[in-house]
Amino acid sequence: MAATESSNPNTVKEIFKDGMQHQDWLSLVAVHSDCLLLYVSSYFGARLRSNEKYCNIHANWRNAKLHSGGAFIIRDSSGNVLHHARDAFTFSPNRLTSELRCMEWALQSMQDLGYKEIIIASDLHDLITAVTKSTEWPRFRLLLHRISNLCLQFEAVAFETESSLSNSIARKIAKSILRDGRFQSYLALGGPAWLHQQIFREAALIRS
């Protein structure tokens, strides 16, 4: 989550229901049923609010015959890593399916961890487009519907597209699953030790 990336006006950040009563939010979603996820805010400032958490996700998909490696890493507004996780997903017919499964897994994990206000970031533009314009992606409607239902469990949810460079830690963790045969899923506090230096540098940039 580089600060220079967050200030880009082309950044896509959607779905924000902060300050709305839960019932009002559900009513709005019902009214706008043609779009599973309602656009409420299209852009945020470069800095996270203190109670927001930033989650980078990535699914390393190679082909339909292999497992995919999924990863996420969660940071606070100062760039400190709170959790990271990896998992292996069974065969997916295409990359977008694998990325949607990764997003569903990350959202479920963040709900289980008790996070309330979150921003999900991915470097796959089609993933963010599918989530925010779901009626244009009917082939993936079941996955998108499950993602929509998970989003309703949070006080605030946003989505952001960013560069592969800014998403590189999640990408490296996901790639290590197939490369190194790390198929056992895990969730851990902080970041992986083998990426400590990169995590430290990125946190310093965010705080500067």
pLDDT more than 90, % of the chain:
61
Residue 5: phi and psi, rounded to 5, are -70, -40
Residue 151: phi and psi, rounded to 5, are -60, -30
Please tell me the predicted confidence (pLDDT) of residue 203.
84
| Whether residue 16 has pLDDT greater than 70 | no
Please tell me the predicted confidence (pLDDT) of residue 88.
94
pTM of the full structure = 0.77
The boundaries of the domain holding residue 82 are 3-207
* Beta-carbon-side half-sphere exposure of residue 27 (alpha carbons within 13 Å): 5
In the numeric block, which tokens belong to residue 3?
């600060």
pLDDT per residue as tens digits for the range 23-59: 444 434 433 333 333 332 333 334 456 689 999 999 9
CATH number for position 29: 3.30.420.10
Please tell me the predicted confidence (pLDDT) of residue 208.
64
Domain count, the chain: 1
